[in-house]
Amino acid sequence: MTTTIAHSRRGGRWGRRKKAFTLTEVLITMTLCGFVLAASTGSLLFLAKSTKGLGNYQEMNMASRFTLEDFGSDARMTVDVNAATATSVSLEVYDSTGGVSTVVYAYDAGAGTFSRTAGGATDVILKDVKSLELVYYNLYGVKDSDGSINPLEVKEIQLQAEMQRSVLSIKNTNEIISARFMMRNRSVSS
């Protein structure tokens, strides 16, 4: 009885080589995967910074709009100015009942906040404020340039501020310069 063994092409040296990757193929694949991963990580970090920065700009813009709306409303309804400095102002304002109430706006440089106090309640209306200045004008539109603010002569007021927030290592800045708000209900000395 004769036995023959059929030789297959799958066996032997060629079959084992086709079933696995060589070290060179694995290293090339890992290097290419590393480049793709590095590029995608950089893109994702850039996208995250951009998205956070856009969110910061939107929040600062909305906060400044609401602040200017409240500040402008109170300034236009002002009957008298009790005190005025470059960083705070105390106003006598007509309220919703037709009476007069005191409203104080003050900037706290240490905390970086701008707040409004009315009826004993203080609300922080701006956060992350880097600098703030209140500019006063008299009846003739002349700015108090020497820093001596006479509350009796104030007829217009302007708010100038700079807000700043940080995103990772990037700082987002929002500049606020209001219009001059005329104190319509206020009589001034000439």
Give the tens place of pLDDT for each residue, 5-36.
Answer: 655 555 555 555 567 888 898 999 999 999 99
Is position 14 within any domain?
Answer: no
Is position 189 within any domain?
Answer: no
pLDDT at 188: 67
Share of the chain above pLDDT 70, in %: 86
Q: Report whether pLDDT(56) > 60.
A: yes
Is position 138 within any domain?
Answer: yes
Is position 98 within any domain?
Answer: yes
Is position 71 within any domain?
Answer: yes
Q: What tokens appear for 21 in the block?
A: 């990757």
Please give the angle made by the CA atoms of 76, 80 and 85, to the nearest 5 degrees: 90
- 3-state secondary structure at position 108: strand
Q: In which band, very low, low, confident or very high, does the pLDDT at 124 lie, cut at 50, 70 and 90? A: very high
- When the pLDDT of each residue in the chain is averaged and rounded to a whole number, the result is 83
Is position 4 within any domain?
Answer: no
- 113-118 vs 100-108, strand pairing mode: antiparallel
Task: Judge contact between 87 and 106, C-beta under 8 A.
Answer: yes
Burial 115-134 (b: 16+ CB within 10 A, else e): bbebeeeeeebbebbeebeb
What is the count of structural domains for the chain?
1
Is position 72 within any domain?
Answer: yes
Which domain range does residue 62 map to? Answer: 24-182
More confident of the two residues 112 and 140: 112
Is position 92 within any domain?
Answer: yes
CA 9 from chain centre, in angstroms, equals: 71
